Chains A and B, each alone.
Chain A
């Protein structure tokens, strides 16, 4: 693939920011790994060999009777009785962390929350659930939430900013006033009130947050469109009779994309923080789901069990720092005045 000299310069500049470049790698690997959380932390085995046949219980549910047990319900592979049944006629491999987010470890030697041990590498929470497993799933849902929210709020923000910047005048005036009023609404209270009426889930939270988070980008994109509006090549396109949407898309949007891309890591950060806040306050994802905010609440409630609070703090701090470092590198890459050190 060949890049234009401008793109090449940007890539060089991005790589020149070592911290941001490495952060991107670390974040990329981390994200890739936790994408497959089910294979990493699960209470079902990855592979079962039973009577010469192979089974993958992660993908398919088998009743206990299948293995010669008594119950017709789904198998609990962690049960010592089931383990004995299967291992008599074959073998099974568990993921490295043999706990799901809802799995309660009944073999604890100490009352929950129990400190880190060989079984539970980061200890358990107050219901005897493995902290590491919950952390992995919590990170995944946070990052997903952030990415989806960032994606959609960027689209809405860019479109709104572009319309205001291009048409200006009355359109801009009205839009700006609407945004001012809209941004005055207290989003946190709104979410708290809403979640006391209906039980929030992932998509509902996303939708509500989206209603407010798109305003971040409007100012930047609008200013960029204002500026490019009077450039000669935009005027030239107008004189050529190029349709308005095409001028905006082809001649003006690329200019605004620089500002947008620079902003995106920070919006992503904001989204993750927002979800964590809601979970921490207990107004976020439904009870029982794994999340960083819920982990922090546990840490707050059990100060004498520092592994809870510390895990929550460090995972959040590292994730947000990585994203900020990446954001800084992106900003460097798009900075035309940045002088490359040789």
Chain B
């Protein structure tokens, strides 16, 4: 008997005064014990919604299933009563969510989180559950956790939290494990470990694994069969090797080809320097330890960082979360207080009061990671883009401003009439273009890109990178490119700086640093970023 059989599943979302949205449209797939099926697709393709309907976790008055059936070991789960579902959830089917910080209850200790399914489904006593929790912690490779049973989620690192999530999902030895982007929120060096753990446990317990991901590289390593989803439909299905090697559907081809590629334009020899940073420190005041003691736990986010940028150059800054790379960006823009020297085309900005920095603002701009939160939802696109001009070029008439806004929107590849619309009407990639337009309308010399592509789908990433490279060529912009994604950094940067715990651990010319890293940390980082792809040791290809 197949473990999971999904037939012709459809999901509609209803909202008032609007036609229902067809999130999932007649999707079918099946999964056997011990097998791995990957649902691959970009955001909005319906892969997560399909997975959530298996456990009946959709917001039900608003969602409905016009057709389909979900058979789990022959038992119908779709539209099943809540009592039936509750017995299945966590007991027969475990789920790992994308973001371990929000998926764990911040008020419960580690022990309580993991023990909960045991107490509910297995009827264990607290003492029995405790033994099992320790067992599980060893199983997920977090043996130290046994000593920290009363730790709260915020006291753990991202990787540890994800291990706790896995332990929770595995507590009752489920027959099916659903992993919804299990590594997307984690740093690259941790990703490998988590993936190895999941596939190891799967073999051990003969679980079925439903893996949801947008990352083809990861899927290639983990899954035997793969289903490519787009706009709620499965466009291609088959064994991983066939689908990835000989894709039939044009969309699958497009997905495979959209891995970032290309190289930055060479810099001209006569390029003049734009910015020199010398020995920069950023310290965040910590909590005082107590009333009496004098010491306080200050956090040094950036420690003695120096680098320089010339016209038309891109410097990539890579590092894991918490390495201080975003803080560095804010310090360079004088948005957080810092100590050291920030020389911007001949002027020392460090130590200048806010108002004195203002005239330099148009020349240095920033693009943020999340295009959904970086645009004010209450202003129209035209208002957002025009704001910089209204402040810095007060002599311009309304007509002039409108002309420039239209021009810059065309420049970033948006129709001119989009200036009358609001940000929510645009997709992630388009929003990032709006953010770029807002920065570029002031004709900056330096653009700081703080993870500009990591919130976007792969195929859109490629478009944004092409746009950025094109703009750099035309306007001789200097980029400070901050990212944790080495693949993207490689396609953009002339030089790369590797940061760890606020310090620069290695810097050098991009290709050389990637191919011949010297520092051991850089080596791990490179290994984790590039080796996970289509490598020789991959059994599925």
Contacts and interface: CB of A to CB of B under 8 A. Distances in A.
Given A232-B368, A233-B374, A339-B61, A239 B387 contact: no
A339 B391 CA distance: 40
Contacts of B368: 232, 235-236
A170 to B, nearest CB: 12
A305 B238 CA distance: 88
B366 A339 contact: no
Nearest to B360: A241
B35 interface: no
Interface of A: 4-6, 12, 231-233, 235-243, 246, 250-251, 254, 339-342
Given A236-B438, A342-B16, A4 B422 contact: yes
A316 to B, nearest CB: 37
8 contacts: A12-B17, A236-B374, A239-B335, A240-B361, A240-B442, A241-B362, A254-B378, A342-B14
Given A232-B368, A339-B62, A342-B16, A240 B391 contact: yes
B376 A251 contact: yes
A339 B13 CA distance: 12
B365 A240 contact: yes
Contacts of B359: 241
Given A235-B335, A240-B442, A242-B387, A12 B376 contact: no
Interface string B367-382: 0111001111111000
A241 B378 contact: no
Nearest to A238: B335
Contacts of A340: 15-16
Nearest to A246: B391
Q: How large is the interface on B (under 10, 10 to 19, 20 to 34, 35 or more residues)?
A: 35 or more
Contacts of A341: 61
Given A235-B368, A240-B365, 18 more contacts: A5-B424, A12-B17, A231-B373, A232-B374, A233-B373, A236-B366, A239-B335, A239-B364, A240-B361, A240-B387, A240-B388, A240-B442, A241-B359, A242-B388, A250-B379, A251-B376, A340-B15, A340-B16
B358 interface: yes
Nearest to A232: B374
A251 B376 CA distance: 7
Given A232-B374, A233-B375, A251-B376, A239 B17 contact: no
A235 B357 CA distance: 15
A237 to B, nearest CB: 7
B435 interface: yes
B37 interface: no
Given A231-B373, A254-B378, A339-B62, A239 B365 contact: yes
Contacts of B17: 12
B51 interface: no
A200 B376 CA distance: 47
B234 interface: no
B333 interface: yes
* Top 6 A-B pairs, shortest CB-CB distance: A241-B361, A232-B374, A232-B373, A232-B368, A241-B358, A233-B376
Contacts of A236: 366, 368, 374, 435, 438
Given A12-B17, A342-B14, A342-B16, A239 B333 contact: yes
A239 B424 CA distance: 22
Contact of B392 (A4, A239, A241, A342): A241
Contacts of A342: 14, 16
Contacts of A238: 335
A250 to B, nearest CB: 8
B477 to A, nearest CB: 15
A252 B39 CA distance: 40
A17 to B, nearest CB: 14
Contacts of A339: 59, 61-62
Contacts of A239: 333, 335, 361, 364-366
A11 B392 CA distance: 37
Give the residue among A232, A243, A251 with the most B Cβ atoms within 10 A. Answer: A232
Interface string B430-451: 0000010010001000000000
A214 to B, nearest CB: 25
B291 to A, nearest CB: 16
Nearest to B362: A241
A242 B357 CA distance: 11
A303 B6 CA distance: 74
